Structure 1
Amino acid sequence: MPISLSETLVVLPAYNEEEALGGVLAEIRETLGDVTCLVVDDGSADRTSEVARAAGARVATLPLNLGVGGAMRVGFKYAVANGFRAVVQVDADGQHDPKSLPELVAGLDEADIVIGARFAGSGDYEVSGPRKWAMKFLSVVIGRICKTKLTDTTSGFKAIGPRALNLFARYYPAEYLGDTIEALVIAARAGCVVKQVPVSMRERAGGVPSHNPVKAAIYLARAFVALTFALVRPPVRLANIERSAA
């Protein structure tokens, strides 16, 4: 049964994003109408929560910074507890175009996870240096695990369908890069179907980028560590989760 936008929760993990967040939420409303948005304030020291509430979003405020993985696990648990069938993860900094969101959700008719891929022929987003080669390597390896061609396994713009939603509400990794690399491996080994659709990325609407040259140099080592952890951990049985959720 196709998933509608009314059954979809848009989750925006946000850390000190007061500058961009209001405009991002306004654009989502203008583009998609009365879709439900949950902002997970990941221990921000600014007015992120106040801006989100003023824009009409639901807000979960964390007492300390857990990272994107921890924030998204809160979002998945909230979605399951409140009867949503799908979640779409959207960055709070304005880089993700909400016009692509319906295509991601529509892709859940054929898959459990739909990745909005930056390097699949749409837009001119580029990375360079060690981060670029790590991303290419990871895409090849994880694509083989998922048994499909992937070009952007670290994208934070993705839709999660019912089966993967129940899986991630319990087992979504919170470690750095675990929310992308390890999560896809967990899902694939549990039997979830992964696909991607091309999307265009934009410049940040405000705030401070999370990557800089020093962090990019560290990215390569962390990426391999995340992949190693994903492969050595025992697989989760999706059937057991579905039975317990029934």
Structure 2
Amino acid sequence: MEAHDSKQVLVIMPAWNEAESVGNTVREVLSMGRAYDVLVVNDGSTDSTADSASEAGATVLNLPFNLGVGGAMRAGFKYAQRLNYRRVIQVDADGQHDPRSIEEVLAGLEHADISIGARFADKGDYKVSGPRKWAMQFLAKVISGLAKTRLTDVTSGFRAGNERAIAQYLDHYPAEYLGDTIDSLVVAIRSGCTVTQVPVAMRPRQGGTPSHNPLKAAVYLGRSVFALLFALTRKRSETPAALLSVQGAS
């Protein structure tokens, strides 16, 4: 497989009331010159998110009500499987994920099934403090042990997956926000998927309302640890290879 055949890449962009930023984010991705296909999963927005995304050149998948990031991503993975995309990458609609880093994160799939755009890997100046910092450090240490590789940012949503990862995510990507990135990663690792990370720089939100505020940050540690413990108790899924065999025979 040609490593940088971007015609086989689907950019999945979950969006809930992101009319202020989603259009510019889609245009930035499409301006990279890589011919990525962009799918905006409109997660029950009550503003003009769908129109802004469509006018910018994205395909829009409208969900009837808000499912959360996990539910939106599962819809995106299903779309990717049905249209036979070989690689997918999540890019946030708020503009924090720099489209110029997409190709770098995708390059990690040359030697792993899942590639994470890591905010705390000696690139950029993204910082967190307090409970969120403690949670991220604890989770990174535990999941690094599971993955048998050093990971510094296991809660990052800026991540790419190959066909093996897509097959795994279809059955085991949880809908719960704050638990989706942790649970999906742990189950994927325990099912045989390999993981790597690529240093990236994050940007400030380009519009909309941040998902974290001081109150949410205060409970982040407990919820994240709970998500990890829950993921560790889940049964190991079918091997991704078996899932791909079923997919290929259908």
Report the TM-score, using the length of structure 2 for normalisation: 0.96
Give the distance between the partners of 2:57 and 2:66, measured in 1 at CA.
23
Give the equivalent residue in structure 2 for 1:242. 244
1:65 aligns with 2:66: yes
Q: Please give the residue correspondences for 1:170-181 in structure 2 after superposition, counting only pairs within 5 Å.
A: 170-181=171-182
How big is the shift at 1:175? 1.3
Give the distance between the partners of 2:179 and 2:170, measured in 1 at CA.
14
Q: Deviations 1:32-72 (Å, cap 9, x if unpaired)?
A: 34310000011111000011111110011111111111000
1:18 aligns with 2:28: no
CA contact (8 A) 1:164 1:192 kept: yes
Q: Deviations 1:96-136 (Å, cap 9, x if unpaired)?
A: 11111111112111000000000000000000110100000
CA contact (8 A) 2:179 2:223 kept: no
1:106 aligns with 2:107: yes
Give the distance between the partners of 1:240 and 1:175, measured in 2 at CA.
26
Q: Please give the residue correspondences for 1:143-154 in structure 2 after superposition, counting only pairs within 5 Å.
A: 143-154=144-155
How big is the shift at 1:241? 1.2
> Where in structure 1 are there 5+ consecutive unaligned residues?
none
The SS at the match of 1:52 is helix
Give the distance between the partners of 1:127 and 1:223, measured in 2 at CA.
15
CA contact (8 A) 1:2 1:106 kept: no
How big is the shift at 1:237? 2.1
> After TM superposition, what 4+ stretches of structure 1 lie above 3 angstroms from structure 2?
none
How big is the shift at 1:8? 0.5
Aligned residues: 246
How big is the shift at 1:171? 1.8
> Where in structure 2 are there 5+ consecutive unaligned residues?
none
CA contact (8 A) 2:14 2:42 kept: yes
Give the equivalent residue in structure 1 for 2:197. 196
1:34 aligns with 2:30: no
The SS at the match of 1:101 is helix
Q: Please give the residue correspondences for 1:37-48 in structure 2 after superposition, counting only pairs within 5 Å.
A: 37-48=38-49
The SS at the match of 2:13 is strand
CA contact (8 A) 1:2 1:109 kept: no
Give the equivalent residue in structure 2 for 1:125. 126
The SS at the match of 2:32 is helix
Give the distance between the partners of 1:182 and 1:143, measured in 2 at CA.
14
User: For the structure 1 residues 32 and 178, does the alpha-carbon distance in structure 2 shift closer, same or farther, using more than 3 Å as the test?
Assistant: farther
The CA RMSD over aligned residues, in Å, is 1.0
1:50 aligns with 2:51: yes
Give the equivalent residue in structure 1 for 2:2. 2
Q: Deviations 1:162-196 (Å, cap 9, x if unpaired)?
A: 10111112221111223210111111001001000
Q: Deviations 1:4-52 (Å, cap 9, x if unpaired)?
A: 2110000000010000111111111112343100000111110000111
CA contact (8 A) 1:11 1:89 kept: yes
- Give the letter aligned to residue 149 of structure 1: R
Give the distance between the partners of 1:160 and 1:20, measured in 2 at CA.
25
The SS at the match of 1:195 is strand
Give the distance between the partners of 1:64 and 1:32, measured in 2 at CA.
33
Give the distance between the partners of 2:127 and 2:96, measured in 1 at CA.
13
Q: Identify the range of structure 1 (216-225 vs 26-35) with the bigger mean alpha-carbon deviation.
A: 26-35
Give the distance between the partners of 1:177 and 1:233, measured in 2 at CA.
17
Q: Identify the range of structure 1 (110-119 vs 32-41) with the bigger mean alpha-carbon deviation.
A: 32-41
CA contact (8 A) 1:20 1:93 kept: yes
